[in-house]
Amino acid sequence: MSQVQYTYGIGDRNAADYDVIIRFVDRDDLKAEGAEWIHPQLDEAVRQHAARGLFKGEPNETLVLPTLGLVPASHAVYVGVSHKADTVDSLRDASAAAAKAASKLKAVAIQQLLPDAATLGSSTYTPEQAAQAMTEGYALSLYKRNALKKEKAKQTVQAVAFIPGAAASEQAAAGWATGIRRGSVFANAVNYARDLTNQPGNKLYPEQLAMDIEDTFAVYDDIEVEVLDEFTAKEQGMGGLLGVGQGSAHPPRMIVIHYRGNEDEKETWGLIGKGITFDTGGISLKRAPGMEEMISDMGGAAAVIGTMRILAELKPAINVVAVIPSAENMPSDRAFKPGDVLTMMNGTTVEVVNTDAEGRLVLADGLTTAIRRGATKLIDVATLTGAVLVSLGDLATGAIGNDDQLLQKVILASKQAGERVWPLPNYPEFRRQLDSDAADLKNKGANYGAASIAGLFIGAFAEERPWLHLDIAGTAWLERARGWEPKGGTGVMVRTLAELFLREQND
């Protein structure tokens, strides 16, 4: 993963050590006579393009002009924004558009001229928040998938300099330094989660995922990793995890990541991520078309790992126990079958009516594992159902839980991160769909309302603690790039969860 250096300073627009100069332009400004952005002659060329309808200044629209020696940079990029929708989202999106345009130009060094609001703050954001959003916009958009090819895709951009206007203050500089660091930490963690999600199933299986996590967190003194193998899982009665994983040659793992940032705090967050490294559906086999995308069925685990990386870097004063139940769901002579009854870690019996509803089984044991390690509030993240795609497409993460206050906190954090979260209904009629004649529960109800029903199965193991389920089946993997989100693994929910935890330390 290429590391780009992000800096903030007054700078020299006439310095010769950058390739592209970028400025955001509001469409209303295009009508103003004598407005100055980069250089009088270049700015006049922009107005001429606008007059001919070739550049309208619409949000995230870009216009690339060769500078012909008027400034040292070889190209100038104008990016449309709207002052009327001046938010951190608009800054992040515009920065993403700028990054893509500069990347196409094979730029090595970029100079981004800042709007005054980003430097001084506005009614909707502080300079620190502007800095974080713009750094994220660049860093998330410049991500290149770590494909296993003979020739690796190269990221040419090495440096981005954010250049404020003349009115910038020392206080703004301090805010920008903090925001750039936070944005870099957030984006690097998201890109790490993307790399994990994009790993092929023959390279990433439960044992390998456990080893990767141990290696990742070995450099942090305040992080402890605990790995439970299949033998320990059996001793502790993890029937859900073992049942799902028994059909594979790769045995399952229950992975626990401990972070204690406040020894005096009694509350401990439990963060549980579905870690199915590949899902064939088991005996209830999936259709062949599109099955290759099931490498992304550990997107919830990737989100949890990315979030824990941010906590390890920024060290908020909270306590989190992260749990990743990891298995490979395969058909074989040993695989669990429809009609089997599993005994879960907390003693609940579950009738298996569909082996492709496996994520909720491992998550149930994941919740119990977190609770037994002191978790008082629970959030699980999972690529759980195709049904959430029917409801929300690939535009929003579905959420269902038993605590409205927790739900609203997550939604507020998601808005700051620019990741949509939408509540799913928690009706008692949905919960009754899980009643079984053969056991305490069954692992699947009707197809209608299936996203809610699946989430409520997990909630049955929350043991009356505040709990929220995030279904990222539609948002963890994209068929085509969109804004600052790439094709393939997106690393969704990493920044939302990190925003939530960083806010919690201040409450």
Residues 97-111 pLDDT 10s: 999 999 999 999 999
pLDDT of 14 over the 70 cut: no
Q: Is 207 annotated as a binding residue?
A: no
What integer pLDDT is reported at residue 29 of this predicted model?
87
Distance CA(434)–CA(453), nearest Å, equals 7
Distance CA(178)–CA(172), nearest Å, equals 10
pLDDT of 2 over the 70 cut: no
Question: Considering only CA atoms, which of 338, 334, 343, 379 is closest in space to residue 361?
Answer: 343
What mean pLDDT value characterizes the chain?
Answer: 95
What integer pLDDT is reported at residue 11 of this predicted model?
56
> pLDDT tier at 270 (50, 70, 90 boundaries)?
very high
pLDDT of 439 over the 90 cut: yes
Contacting residues for 40 by C-beta, under 8 A, at least 6 apart: none
Average pLDDT over residues 468-483: 97
Active site residue 372: no
Domain span(s) for CATH 3.40.220.10 in the chain: 5-171
Q: Are 13 and 111 in contact (CB under 8 A)?
A: yes
Domain span(s) for CATH 3.40.630.10 in the chain: 195-504
**218: helix, strand or coil:** coil
pLDDT of 47 over the 90 cut: yes
C-alpha torsion sign, points 164, 166, 171, 174: positive
Q: Is 442 annotated as a binding residue?
A: no
Please provide the CATH number assigned to the domain covering 195-504.
Answer: 3.40.630.10
CA dihedral angle for residue 131, residue 135, residue 136, residue 142, rounded to 10 degrees: 170
Q: What is the pTM of this model?
A: 0.96
Q: Which two tokens stand for residue 432?
A: 């009754």
Active site residue 487: no
Q: Is 297 annotated as a binding residue?
A: yes
Average pLDDT over residues 263-275: 96
Question: Considering only CA atoms, which of 401, 450, 400 is closest in space to residue 424?
Answer: 400
pLDDT over 90 percentage in the chain = 88
Average pLDDT over residues 121-128: 89
Q: Is 356 annotated as a binding residue?
A: yes
From the list 92, 194, 309, 360, the catalytic residue is 360
Q: What is the pLDDT of residues 364-408, one digit of tens each?
A: 999 999 999 999 999 999 999 999 999 999 999 999 999 999 999
From the list 286, 372, 415, 431, the catalytic residue is 286
Contacting residues for 446 by C-beta, under 8 A, at least 6 apart: 433, 453
Q: What is the pLDDT of residues 133-183, one digit of tens each?
A: 999 999 999 999 988 887 777 778 999 999 998 767 777 889 999 999 999
35 compared with 228, residue with greater pLDDT: 228
Q: Is 358 annotated as a binding residue?
A: yes
> pLDDT tier at 320 (50, 70, 90 boundaries)?
very high
pLDDT of 1 over the 70 cut: no
Average pLDDT over residues 51-59: 95
Count of other CB atoms within 10 angstroms of residue 451: 25
Q: Which two tokens stand for residue 4?
A: 């780009």
Please provide the CATH number assigned to the domain covering 5-171.
Answer: 3.40.220.10
Name the β-bridge partners of 228. Answer: 254
